[in-house]
Amino acid sequence: MDLGSILGLVCAFTLILVGNAIEGGRMRDVTQPTAALIVFGGTFGAVMLQFPMARFLAAMGALRTVFFPDKENPEQVIKQIVDFARRARREGILSLEKELPNISDPFFAKALTMAVDGLEPKTLYESMETELATLEEAGDLKSKVWEAMGGYAPTVGILGAVLGLIHVMQNLSDPSKLGAGIAVAFVATIYGVGSANIVLLPIAGKLKLHSKTHSHVREIMLRGVLLIQEGINHSVIEEQLKGFLSEKQKQAFKSAAAQGAEGASRAESSPRAEAA
């Protein structure tokens, strides 16, 4: 669960409503089903007109990843690649064929399959680069759908406010209804501007960030497979791939490697102690 996304929404809506209450406002003052129908109905309709239905539905499905993102662990990927490189240097790259069913990522599995099959490095790189570009484009389109909604919502909110003011102008003969009517009319603007800047555009930004992280990990996979194919020593591969990591990730990778080495040392010393 992405606590930042959940806490961000809770913080934004709670503090806005608290501020409204401090100013003397009431919850029912900003709860207008008609305004919500106009703003959200108009926004979703405009976006469905702009994008193909398949893209629209894919973007709606991607909303889950904002709160429950797919776990990307570049440190674990590098560790797996280094293990593969060590084995390939010792037993040959064909020995990695039996590891292919255990690879959960389709991109990684496809790249390694091509390497095991003896595909030329240049051809492998060009093929996987094309696939990576396609994955990046698909991820960017999902964020663009939400960006489009964030662009349409304020404008549709103004449209809702104008519609409300039209009804107010029709009741000028009754001054007692003017204040309440104008207030209701501007609720549509609140819905449009608020939903765009608190929900829709932040979701687009989060999806774009997830897409970049996803592509970054796939770049590590592709680079690692190419280095394995070249027969580079596993320690050199590890140092090269660590260049993709941030300083914090490098420290985490170093700590995990140290713990793994310590565990392996203990495992080796235990049989010796029992034999003695």
The contacts of residue 74 (CB under 8 Å, 6+ apart) are 216, 217, 220, 244, 245, 249
pLDDT at 104: 87
State the average pLDDT for the chain.
Answer: 86
What average pLDDT score do residues 38-66 get?
Answer: 93
Query: Mean pLDDT: which of 43-47, 72-76, 84-88, 258-262 is highest?
Result: 43-47
Determine the average pLDDT of the residues in 88-95: 89
pTM of the model: 0.81
What value does the mean pLDDT take over residues 53-63?
Answer: 93
Cα 4 to Cα 8, 145, 199, 241, distances in angstroms: 6, 22, 13, 29
Sequence-separated (6 or more) residues with CB below 8 Å from residue 58: 138, 141, 142
Q: Is the pLDDT of residue 50 over 90?
A: yes
pLDDT over 90 at 196, yes or no = yes
Instruction: Map tokens 């009741």 to a residue.
Output: 171
**156-181 per-position pLDDT tens digit:** 999 988 888 887 887 777 776 676 67
Contact 75, 245 (CB under 8 A): yes
The per-residue pLDDT for range 13-34, each reduced to its tens digit, is 899 888 888 888 778 778 888 8
For residue 181, the tally of other CB atoms under 10 A from its CB is 18
Contacts of 172 (CB under 8 A, 6+ apart): 178
The answer to whether 77 and 223 have CB atoms below 8 angstroms apart is no
Average pLDDT of the residues in 27-53: 90
Structure confidence at residue 249 (pLDDT):
79
For tokens 């309709």, what's the residue? Answer: 45
Report percent pLDDT > 90 for the chain.
45
Token couple for 113: 């399959």
* Tens digits of residue pLDDT in 95-132: 899 888 888 889 999 999 999 988 898 999 999 999 99
Query: Taking each helix axis from N to C terminus, what angle separates 74-91 and 234-241, rounded to the nearest 10 degrees?
Result: 160
Residue 266 has a pLDDT of 54
CA–CA distance from 251 to each of 79, 221, 234, 257, 260 (Å)? Answer: 14, 20, 19, 10, 14
- Predicted pLDDT of residue 276: 46
Q: What pLDDT score was predicted for residue 168?
A: 80
The residue with greater pLDDT, 222 or 273, is 222
**For the CA atoms of the chain, what is the radius of gyration?**
28
- 28 secondary structure, DSSP code: G
pLDDT digits (tens, 9 = 90+) for 237-270: 988 998 888 888 788 777 766 665 554 445 445 5
DSSP-H helix ranges across 92-177: 106-116, 121-169
Q: State yes or no: pLDDT of 47 exceeds 80.
A: yes
